[in-house]
Amino acid sequence: MKLKLKASALALAAVLAAPQAQAWSLEEAAKPYAGTVVDVVFLDGHGVVHERGLGLASHIGVLLDVPTIGVPKTPFHAVTREPGQSRGDRIILTKEWGAAGAAVRLKARSKPVYVSPGHRVDLDSAIQIALEWTSGRHRVPEPLARAHTYSVLARNDGEAR
């Protein structure tokens, strides 16, 4: 079953992805979306496989009490092998304390991304949801690709003033 991500939740992802989000408190950035039902939030950051065990995806999920999945483009530790070249190929990567993430190819013949469970999501579900939300046009799930586009447009609009 494909989850339905509402436009307002996509906008929340864009707010969290915006460079200005670092200057705001998370609570302030999320206020316009209070009461919004969110199925899952993708973040360009690690989850449980972060070196401290609680990366950005886990942190945001705990603070907002929403399911989160980290899908960064850089690995969380040295990676000596890559998944095959087909969409959906993956290699499970485990940290020394047992936390697991995966190098997953979401787009055929492109670099893999590193799927990491954030909050209230297990690794198998995180991989499945990331694949379901990938159109094949981008290397990352569609909500992250759109959030990146929105944040670049917002940044460029701010520079034009």
Encode pLDDT of 25-53 as tens digits: 666 767 777 778 889 999 999 999 888 87
Name the percent of the chain lying above pLDDT 90. 48
Parent domain of 129: 7-155
Q: How far apart are CA 73 and CA 112, in angstroms?
A: 7
Would residue 160 count as lying in a domain? no
Hey, which residues does 92 pair with through a beta bridge? 102
CATH number at residue 133: 3.30.2170.10
- The model's pTM is 0.81
What is the number of domains present in the chain? 1
> Is 55 within 8 Å of 45 (Cβ atoms)?
yes
